[in-house]
Amino acid sequence: MPITDYLEKNSELYCDEVCLVELNPEIEEKRYVTWKEYSLTEPKHTSAYRLEITWKIFNEKANRFANALLGRGIGKGKKVAILMMNCIEWLPIYFGVLKTGAIAVPFNFRYDTDEIDYCAELAEVDVMVFGSAFIGRIEPIADKLSRKCALIYAGEGTCPTFAESYFELTANADDSNPNIEITDSDNAAIYFSSGTTGFPKAILHNHESLMHSAKCEQAHHGQTHGDVFLCIPPLYHTGAKMHWFGSLVSVGKAVLPKGTKPEYVIQAVHNERCTIVWLLVPWAQDILDDIDSGKIDLSKYDLSCWRLMHIGAQPVPPSLIKRWKSVFPNHDYDTNYGLSESIGPGCVHLGIENTHKVGAIGKAGYGWETKIVDTEGNTVARGEIGELCVKGPGVMTCYYRNEEATKECLKDGWLFTGDMAKEDEDGFIFLVDRKKDVIISGGENIYPVQIEDFLRKMNQIKDVAVIGMPDSRLGEISAAIIEVKEGFTLTEDEVNEFCLGMARYKRPRKIIFADIPRNPTGKIEKPTLRRMYCVENLVAKENES
């Protein structure tokens, strides 16, 4: 069963219920567009403060785009790229592609012109749908792209001369279900790796993967028809979209805010009565900082609707969750571990009943298996560190057009994640670090995440990243890049004194005060830091990938 069947069912049974809300909090004019107005007018109201559509409109828009693509020969085996910021059109376009049987190829909205060109070439894209924010990046390569793929503009304002308008293309298209037969084994989507070690790899998933992620998310968080999901992360990423799949399965409403400022999150929960919010570590930290500083006065908001806060995409500092629970004691908390190669959320899952195990990523998620192995592939004893491997219906088919990389990480159905982990006496898995980020200093393995978690206990520290720097004597030494909270001061001596509580070999040998770069999914961009502070070490690490 393809996941598009859920959309058809929701459209039939809950046709006039609002399913998606787009918020544009930066717009001062509070202009609202209801679904009744949206369905009757030119669908270009992204300049409104608030837009909404129903399940019926969502499904009709997906059908229109699907039929328009099919009319141009875009069906099974073809690839359609989506290069757009989060907006109310994003998901209907994605589902329109899936309904044709073609492969949806979401692009990271941070890609520059060269990366767009590279990924379009790698994925062999036949159509590219792009928004207004990307005109300047597409234009320099428009001639080259258009020789191989059609360019479709789905943004505001005048359509660029090198593209055709999505709205004109779909205006007169048939809005009925194209009824293309789709099986579990049919290819569904290509996602790109984070590109933390250079240009990204293309990750191919089939329809079984998408369906399993929906079942997994709903099983873990128990979404109901009454839940409202605040979807803040970028929809191009597996995590955001696959967490939203839980809303699709349960016929719940989702809210798409444009902006991640703490006040936007709190306002959205208050105004839209959001019950579930998925945050990244930096956003959770920023919310707490603004509450502590008085920038956000919680007494002005009714947040009683908010039942669950969950975090994924990166290791979660236990100190952060302890702090969160002190401010929001009635929130359930959960964390999910996943990779784009394992279709995003929940191949490992903590569970809201296991808050006492904060710091762990949990146990095997719904329908998943896990094991931790040594360099020979043998399962290690509990308490020992090894590479985390996962197996289940959501494992990727392959790295598209990269047989060598596929063989390295897919073995007998097991996905070798590249993450170092250990299991405690109760079977809970704790991430130790990325395999490629392990620092080997004087023969000792140093795991940066352990040092980062320790340093985050300092009240003055907003964010921290630990990297290895080349050293002629020890091979590598650990360096801590520290971002200090606004309004606080911190010295190297204070950090070194605090670090006396760590084993000597783990203590950072170098302290650097600077901002910490993170990608849109919240992961620390350690290659960027290595480029800034230790070029030799970057080359060595990236040669391993």
Question: DSSP for 273-285?
Answer: T--EEEE-HHHHH
CB 326 within 8 Å of CB 288? no
Of 154-168, 394-408, 423-437, the one with minimum mean pLDDT is 423-437
- Integer Cα distance of 480 and 120 in angstroms: 37
Dihedral angle at the C-alpha atoms of 378, 381, 383, 385, nearest 10 degrees? -10
The secondary structure element, H or E, covering residue 214 is helix 207-221
Question: What are 162-211's pLDDT values in tens digits?
Answer: 999 999 999 989 999 999 999 999 999 999 986 544 568 999 999 999 99
- Amino acid identity of residue 75, one-letter, is G
How much is the pLDDT for 175? 95
Mean pLDDT of all residues belonging to the chain: 89
**Cα 271 from Cα 388, distance rounded (Å):** 41
pLDDT at 8 over 90: yes
Residue in the structure block whose two tokens are 């340093």:
455
Q: Burial of 110 by CB count in 10 Å (0-12 exposed, 13-18 middle, 19+ buried)?
A: exposed
- pLDDT tens digit string along 247-267? 999 999 999 998 889 999 999
Give the pair of three-digit tokens for residue 220.
């873990």
**Geometric angle at alpha carbon 356, from 307 and 304, rounded to 5°:** 15
pLDDT at 411: 95
Q: How many CA atoms lie within 13 A of 345 on its CB side?
A: 31
Q: How many residues does the chain have?
A: 545
338: number of Cβ within 10 Å? 27
